[in-house]
Amino acid sequence: MDKQQIKELLIRYEKGECTEHEKAQLETWYIKQEIPSVFHLSEPELNTELSKIWLALEEEYKIHRTRPLWPKIAVAASILLLITIGLYFYLYKNSALNTSRDKIVKTVDDVQPGVNKAILIHASGKQEQLDKEILIASEQPNNTDRNSASYNTVVTPKGGQYQVILADGTHVWLNAASSLKYPISFSGNERRVEISGEAYFEVAHNASKPFKVMSDNQVIEVLGTHFNINTYTDEPAIKTTLLEGAVKISLLSKNKSELILKPGEQAIHIGNHISKNLANTEETVAWKNGFFQFDNASLENVMRQISRWYDLEVEYKGQISKRVFNGKVYRNMTLSKVLSVLSFSKVNYKIEGKKLIVMP
Q: How many CB atoms lie within 10 A of CB 247?
A: 26
Domains in the chain (CATH in brackets) are: 3-102 (no CATH), 105-111+291-359 (3.55.50.30), 115-283 (2.60.120.1440)
Q: Give me the amino acid identity at 354.
A: K
Q: Using one digit for the tens of pLDDT, what is the confidence trace for 249-282?
A: 999 876 678 899 999 999 999 988 899 999 999 9
Closest CA to 209 of 195, 182, 191: 191
**161-175 mean pLDDT:** 95
Interatomic CA distance for residues 8 and 6, integer angstroms: 5
pTM comes to: 0.71
pLDDT surpasses 60 at 70? no
The whole-angstrom separation of Cα 83 and Cα 53 is 8
Question: Which is higher by pLDDT, 205 or 66?
Answer: 205
pLDDT digits (tens, 9 = 90+) for 197-227: 999 999 999 988 999 999 988 999 997 899 9
User: CB-based burial of residue 74 (10 Å sphere; 0-12 exposed, 13-18 middle, 19+ buried)?
Assistant: exposed
Distance, in Å, from the CA atom of 284 to the CA atom of 67, rounded to the nearest integer, reads 19
12-50 burial, b at 16+ Cβ within 10 Å, e below that, comes to: ebbeeebeeeebbbbbeebeeeeeeeeeebeeebbbbbb
d(CA 1, CA 176): 48
User: Residues 156, 158, 160, 164: what is their CA dihedral angle, to the nearest 10 degrees?
Assistant: 20
Does residue 139 register a pLDDT over 50? yes
As a residue count, the chain comes to: 360
* 90-115 pLDDT, tens digit each: 444 433 334 333 333 444 468 899 99
